[in-house]
Amino acid sequence: MIEIADVTVKFGGVVALDNVTLEIADDVVGLIGPNGAGKTTLVNAFSGFVRQAGGRISVHGTSLSDLAPHERARWGLARSFQKVQIVPDLSVADHLLAMLDSKGLSRAQCKEAVHHALDFVGIQNISSKMGRSLNPYQRRMTEIAKCLVGAPRLILLDEPGGGLSQAEMQHLRRVIRGIHPEYGAQILLVDHDVDLIRDVCASTAVLDFGKLIAFGNTNAVLEDEVVKTAYLGR
Amino acid sequence: MGRIFSYATLTGLGLLILALIALPLMLGALWIKVLTSAAIFALAAAGVALVYAQLGLINLAQIALIGVGGWIALRLNYATDLPVTLLVLIAGTLTGVIGAIFALPALRMRGLYLALVTLMVAALFQIFFNAFQFPNGGEGFWGVAQKSASEVRRPGFAESDVGYYRYTLIFMAIGFGVIGLHKITAPGRAWAMIRQSEANAMATGVNVTLYKLWAFALSGLLAGTAGALLAGALGQLDARSFLAGEGILLFALAVVGGVFSWVGAIVAGLLYKLLPALFNDLGLSADVAMIIFGAALMHAIMTAPQGIAGQILGAFNRGGSDD
Per-residue pLDDT of A132-154, as tens digits, reads 999 999 999 999 999 999 899 99
Distance CA A57, CA A1 (A): 11
Q: Is the pLDDT of residue B295 over 90?
A: no
pLDDT digits (tens, 9 = 90+) for A58-85: 998 899 989 999 999 999 999 999 999 9
C-beta atoms of A93 and B205 within 8 A: no
C-beta atoms of A99 and B201 within 8 A: no
Q: Is residue B111 part of a domain?
A: yes
Provide the domain count of chain B.
Answer: 1
A231-to-A44, A56, A204, A225, B310 alpha-carbon distances in Å: 21, 27, 13, 10, 52
A122-to-A42, A126, B37 alpha-carbon distances in Å: 29, 9, 53
Contact B70, B77 (CB under 8 A): no
Option in B186, B195, B199 nearest A87 (CB): B195
Q: Is residue B115 part of a domain?
A: yes
pLDDT digits (tens, 9 = 90+) for B61-70: 999 999 999 9
Q: DSSP letter for B259, please.
A: T
Give the residue from A204, A195, A202 showing the smallest Cα distance to A169. A195
C-beta atoms of A78 and B203 within 8 A: yes
C-beta atoms of A70 and B322 within 8 A: no
CA A55 to chain B, closest CA, distance in angstroms equals: 21
User: What is the ipTM score, two decimals?
Assistant: 0.92
- Residue B256: which residues within 8 A CB-CB, separation 6 or more? B267, B268, B271, B293, B296, B297, B299, B300, B307, B308
Q: Is residue B288 part of a domain?
A: no
Determine the pLDDT at residue B322.
45
Q: Is residue B116 part of a domain?
A: yes
Q: Is residue B92 part of a domain?
A: yes
pLDDT digits (tens, 9 = 90+) for B213-251: 999 999 999 999 999 999 999 988 898 999 999 999 999
Distance CA A117, CA A120 (A): 5
Option in B192, B207, B322 nearest A70 (CB): B207
Distance CA B256, CA B305 (A): 8
Contact B269, B49 (CB under 8 A): no
A 47-76 near B (Cβ less than 8 A): 47-49, 69-70, 73-74
Q: Is residue B68 part of a domain?
A: yes
CA B204 to chain A, closest CA, distance in angstroms equals: 5
Domain assignment of residue B116, given as a range: 7-144+155-238
Q: Is residue B222 part of a domain?
A: yes
Chain B nearest-CA residue for A79: B203
Entry pTM:
0.89
- Residues from chain A contacting residue B200 (CB–CB below 8 Å): 81, 85
Burial group, residue A195, by CB count within 10 angstroms (0-12, 13-18, 19+): exposed
CA angle B270, B272, B273 (to 5 degrees): 70
Q: Is residue B316 part of a domain?
A: no
How many residues are present in chain A?
234
C-beta atoms of B206 and A103 within 8 A: no
Kindly list the residues of chain B whose beta carbon comes within 8 Å of any beta carbon in chain A.
1, 186, 189-190, 192-193, 195-197, 199-208, 322-323
- Residues from chain B contacting residue A48 (CB–CB below 8 Å): 202
- Give the range among A45-54, B130-139, B313-322 with minimum mean pLDDT: B313-322
